Every structure is written in structure tokens, then in C-alpha cells.
Amino acid sequence: MTIDKSSIVDIDVKSPQTPIARLILAHGAGEGKEHPFMQEMASHLVAGGIEVVLFNFPYMQQMKETGKRRPPDKADKLLAHFAEVITHITENIHSSLPTFVGGKSMGGRMASMLYQEHDEIQGAMVFGYPFHPPGKPEKTRIAHMPTLTKPMLIIQGERDTFGTEQEVLNYTLPASIDCVFLADGDHSFKPRKASGKTQHEHMVYAAKLCVDFISRLI
């Protein structure tokens, strides 16, 4: 299902026959909603009874149209678009569904920066939070987190270069944030062969964690 509106375009809604809740899911900095990670995660979530809304930020829409790569827009523009998507979806599609937001990496960070301000949003989920740029652990992106009181689930690979398990456990995060670490996973949950795990297994487990998280809250 694709929605085309003057200010809200490039949105896909993937829904099970009888959804129990909705997750509006934002993409990472370098790839849009079409990326295999986004599509596979959406598929697993739908199988768990969650309606998933995927969308592309405006800069990603321009990349698709021109075929030329460009950096993400500033946070304020990303947040404004994310908020417009939330309003459009909650007012027009299955409006009574309990609604959550989330995202992959940058998209998850944006979700964490806006969900507290939206009464209609019950919680947030992040797949690979970018706690800091790779190789720059001193430049953390957690200044807003101490004020968060709504539930948030962060699913992180143990060796994620944007925040390893050891690094994240040393942060002082509020009790509202629950972090789960995937064995030997990288920023996209991919483990090394020697770990005995697979990315697919981690994706399935991450989706189950999200469904359980949502089920507890609704």
C-alpha cells in the first residue's frame, strides 16, 4: 500500500490481517526503506501481528530520483518530516491502533528524539542506536536520553562500532530504556561465522523482542 500526498510521499504500509499495533519505522542514514534490512525486519514484525509503516526521508527521496548520493538533512528537518508522517498515519490509517515509532541507526535516533513529545506514541524501538560515530567514542549522542520517561527498546550488536556492549553498559541511561545485545552482532546485527550465529537468526529474535515489548505495553 502506497500513500501519495503533496507533503507526505514514499510511504509503504505493511499490515497483517488483524494487527495488534503499529510501528512507524525510519531508515538509516545511507539506505532507504527499500534496504534488505528494513524489508526483512518489516516482514518478521508483520508475521508477529504488527503493522509496519516504512517511509523515506526527503533527502532519500531525492537520492532515488537523481541517482546521486547525498548526506542526510539536518536533524530538525528529519524530525519535522517524521512528525508529519506520524500525524498522517495516525489520523488516516487504522487510527485506533496503538502506535510506536522506531528506526534503524539514524532513523532510530530520530525516533528517540521525538517519541516523548507525541501523546499518541506509546514507545520506541531502535535497531542499532548510533551512540557515537565509529572511532569517536567521546562524541556521544545521548544528551537527550536522561529526560526520557516513555519505554524504549534498543537492540544492539555486541560489537557495533557505533556503540559496543561494553561502551553502552558504561553509559548512565534512564530506567525507561532497555538495551538488549545480540551475540557478536555488528551494526546490522551480522555476526562472524565463528560465533555460530547468523544475521537471520538475530533479525528474527530482534523482531520477537519488539513484538514482546509492544505486547507488554498494550
Report the pLDDT value the prediction gives residue 87, as an integer from 0 to 100. 92
44-68: average pLDDT: 95
Predicted model pTM: 0.94
Report the pLDDT value the prediction gives residue 209, as an integer from 0 to 100. 98
The backbone region for 65, taken as left when phi is positive above 0, alpha when psi lies in -120 to 50, beta otherwise, is alpha
The mean predicted confidence, pLDDT, of the chain is 94
How does pLDDT run across 63-82, given as a tens digit for each residue? 999 999 999 999 999 999 99
Rounded Cα gap, residues 123 and 100, in angstroms:
5
The distance of Cα 172 from the centroid of its chain, to the nearest Å, equals: 21
- Residue 4: pLDDT over 50: no
Superfamily classification of domain 2-217: Alpha/Beta hydrolase fold, catalytic domain (3.40.50.1820)
Rounded Cα gap, residues 164 and 158, in angstroms:
5
Q: Where are the domains of the chain?
A: 2-217
